A and B are shown apart, each in its own frame.
Chain A
Amino acid sequence: MGQVTLEINGKSVQASQGITILQAAKSAGVEIPTLCDDGRLEPYGACRMCMVEIEKKGRTRLVASCLYPVEEGLSVQTESAKVTKIRKMLVELLWPAGQQYAKKYGVTRSRFATGMADCSLCGLCVRYCAEVKKSNALYFKGRGIDRKPALVDGPHATCSSCGECFSLCSGGWVVASRA
């Protein structure tokens, strides 16, 4: 694989072609917040916490760094004004989930009536079960604002109670939903 040179927060960074901005940033020591990213799983692009501002041929764009592949000459800002605005709003909207980033982005409370327990629908449990365990015991039920992770029930149930998904969940939702 070839190498490309890009700029992250003004610093020149070398990265191998095909990796994402998030991975390139990590190896260059730049921390980008994430909620739905897990190295073992396919990038998912749902939490949008990892959004960064990129500049290419003079045009700027907001992209999810967990999905966007590195490109030669790309200039990336991981904490631009727009990016921090987005993260702040995300922390507020997901409150109390995502609180680990509250302090960094100066959020002390949410202006919204939030509260789907602590679930941010990052999908780590569902995806881990499908992609790593290959057992598809969990799925997303409903769509839109009714979407929830759920356990496949009845004759098609495949949960072997390995419990590995418990630790993936930062909000304890998986345990709660099994109770």
Chain B
Amino acid sequence: MPSVRTAADLADLRTETLAAQKAKPVWITVCTGTGCCAYGAEGLADGFESEIDKRGLGRQVGLRRTGCHGFCERGPLVVIEPKGICYLHAQAKDIPTIMDKTVLGDEVVTRLLYLDEETGKRVRTAAEIPFYKHQKRILLENNVLIEATSILDYIGVGGYSALAKALNQMTPDAVIQEVKRANLRGRGGAGFSAGVKWETTRNASGAPKYAIVNGDEGDPGAYMDRSLLEGNPHSVLEGLIIGAYAMGATEGFIYVRQEYPLARKHAQMAIDRAREYGFLGANILGSGFDFDVTIHRGAGAFVSGESSALVNAIEGHVGEPRPKYTHLSEKGLWGKPTCLNNVETWANVPFIVNRGADWFRSMGTANSKGTKIFSLVGKVKNSGLVEVPMGITLRDIIFKIGGGLPAGKKFKGVQTGGPSGGVLPEALLDLPVDFDELDKVGSMMGSGGMIVMDEDTCMVDMARYYVNFLAHESCGKCVPCREGLRQMLTILDRIAGGQGREGDIELLEELSEFMEMASLCALGKSAPNPVRSSIRYFRHEYEAHIREKRCPAGACSALIQYEIDQTKCSHPPCGACARACAVEAIQKIDTGAYWVLQEKCIKCGSCYTACPDKFHAVRKAPVAWPAWQFPSTPVRTEITV
């Protein structure tokens, strides 16, 4: 068995691994992250593999199936190393060409390169693509360089050297002091100092002590933790082992969300390999330190990601928060001192140990150090996973990395912090990404969800979406959270439905304040954030719904109707709208034009989508559209059915 007993063994293994890799001059890297796999990346990798075999290139050309590179939207992604040529949307039919030109030859396949819309030029490497250029990829960097399930690949990029350093050269207390000095704050939500939490756990009496990875990632649309667990599980595991050593934990758990089978599989493989190599188990690297890890499969609800709920779930109980006023670091899992950190928090640890607190502190703002991974989604041209230094502005993330909004749409707001975060308006785009700054303006860092919204997004509808999510994802145990959310949902439904009343905004505000004060856990306390922030920055939208029965964004179906602008409709009409309508609500009137029968219309919007862009004749109009705004209004009685 390839057991690694000492730091010197590890260094030797690394040298051997690198030499073996160097023996092959060219490496084809295929991203097999979840995003790229949805575009057929597995088949593509298989295709490369058989092509390499077929051509008898097994000794010269290597193939790596890696985790997520971040730019999922343009997948499948293929990178040819060592030149770093980056191909987007690569297909099986491109394999022979890529092999001939780039792998064996010295040319590029131009059509597969990224096209920079601004310069009109194609760029060859990922580093030149604006999406990557403005990022600071530290945690995600190795995702591109290693095969997720290969411990040797991880060792090749320096993996487990931080563990060797911590165990051989540092006392547990020195590790804690380094992490404290780095000011590593929790990446899972609240931004609590990891070092302080470790120290409290270390100082708490009771044994055994437990260290847990929170991989529940319940924030809808976010997949930072998933990509780390799938693409580089050893980095999370190494961080966990170092942390366990520092706080004196002997048992660990990786809690992975039920919907992440691949993350679970890769984490399990990482644990098995690490045990084989001697990074887990008894007497790790000859240090006398014992530690082992088990995977726990999550139970599903958003609330189970809350720390005490997660601990309940691991104990085999219902994943509901504990109402107790005690800290997990003193009384956690089975009543023993327990430390829970987010996946990304743990993944930072090996870097801090290896490169030092000063290096970590060189990135970021006064109180937020290092980098943060965001899942940038919504109305942006380049969506995907982005890792940025703390302190970067929201504007840079959305416009430089994200490339701005598609189709010339105007920016309206950005939701950070997931369902418990807040929506921020254009005026706050120059805000630096920083735990405390985001808190101050009514949002939060959260785990890193970032949803960009354009002018077509209704803020009442947005708030309603999150309130509805939380109303169904909370445990429902305490009255303020359950009944508060129920009533918020009723009120928002009524506002969006054109039935809002004077005083509803104030009632929402009163409920928000009450839920923050009285709820049992952080879910209920933070649940009002989307409502509060949207009222704070977009109050006029609420007022338009309530007072004028108008949805300024044209999104609330009860307040809009679809109409055909007769001045824009083609002559003769193309009829695309009528064909798209499933309920025959669009009919020809005797002038030969098409007309929407409002009584029949179910407001599905199919006609709006079906109308060719060159006409753009179907429009969303407020239900009570003043007659004078029609250029030529056909009288309704003219309709013949």
Chain A residues near B (Cβ < 8 Å): 43-49, 51, 62-64, 67-69, 82, 85-86, 89-90, 93-94, 111-114, 120-121, 123, 140, 142-147
Contacts and interface: CB of A to CB of B under 8 A. Distances in A.
B481 to A, nearest CB: 9
Contacts of A43: 323
A48 B482 contact: no
B531 to A, nearest CB: 15
Contacts of B301: 143
Contacts of B323: 43-46, 64, 67
Given A46-B479, A120-B479, A111 B473 contact: no
B480 A145 contact: no
A147 B479 CA distance: 11
B325 A68 contact: yes
A112 B487 CA distance: 7
Contacts of B510: 89
B473 A144 contact: yes
B517 A64 contact: no
Contacts of B470: 144
Nearest to A123: B477
Nearest to B491: A112
The 7 A-B pairs at the shortest CB distance, nearest first, are namely: A45-B323, A147-B476, A93-B483, A144-B472, A144-B476, A145-B486, A89-B514
Nearest to B478: A46
Contacts of B472: 143-146
B518 A48 contact: yes
B484 interface: yes
B480 A143 contact: no
A86 B473 contact: no
A64 B303 CA distance: 20
B471 A145 contact: yes
B95 to A, nearest CB: 48
Interface in B409-438: none
Contacts of B484: 93
Contacts of A114: 483, 487
B482 A144 contact: yes
Contacts of B507: 111
Nearest to A122: B479
Interface in B291-343: 301, 303, 323-325
Contact of B485 (A62, A67, A113, A145): A145
14 contacts: A46-B323, A46-B477, A47-B478, A62-B517, A64-B323, A67-B325, A86-B518, A90-B479, A112-B490, A123-B477, A144-B482, A144-B485, A145-B485, A146-B472
B479 A62 contact: no
Contacts of A48: 478-480, 518-520
A63 B325 contact: yes
B498 to A, nearest CB: 17
A113 B470 CA distance: 19
B489 interface: yes
Contacts of A85: 514, 517
B474 interface: yes
B483 A144 contact: no
A90 B481 CA distance: 11
B444 interface: no
B512 to A, nearest CB: 11
Given A46-B323, A51-B518, A64-B520, A143 B473 contact: yes
Interface in B498-530: 507, 510-511, 514, 517-520
Given A44-B323, A48-B520, A111-B507, A146 B514 contact: no
Contact of A113 (B473, B490, B517): B490
B312 to A, nearest CB: 13
Given A46-B323, A48-B520, A69-B325, A121 B476 contact: yes
A107 to B, nearest CB: 14
A83 B484 CA distance: 16
Contacts of B471: 144-145
B176 interface: no
Given A67-B325, A143-B303, A143-B472, A45 B489 contact: no
A86 B511 CA distance: 10
A69 B471 CA distance: 30
Nearest to B511: A89
B475 interface: yes
Contacts of B479: 46-49, 90, 93-94, 120-121
A124 to B, nearest CB: 13
A67 B478 CA distance: 14
Contacts of B478: 45-48
B483 A94 contact: yes
Nearest to B481: A144
Nearest to A88: B514
Chain B CB within 10 Å — which of A48, A111, A147 has the most? Answer: A48
Given A89-B510, A143-B303, A82 B477 contact: no
A67 B325 CA distance: 7
Interface string B534-568: 00000000000000000000000000000000000
Contact of B520 (A46, A49, A89, A90): A46
B492 to A, nearest CB: 13
B474 A45 contact: no
B324 A82 contact: no
B475 A90 contact: no
Contacts of A44: 323
Nearest to B476: A147
Contacts of B473: 143-144
Contacts of A90: 479-480, 518
| Most chain B CB atoms below 10 A, which of A45, A49, A62, A64 | A45
Given A47-B478, A144-B471, 13 more contacts: A46-B323, A62-B517, A62-B518, A64-B323, A86-B480, A86-B518, A90-B479, A93-B480, A121-B476, A140-B476, A143-B301, A144-B476, A145-B486
Contacts of A69: 325
A72 B477 CA distance: 31
A64 B322 CA distance: 13
A139 B517 CA distance: 28
Contacts of A146: 472, 476
Nearest to B524: A48
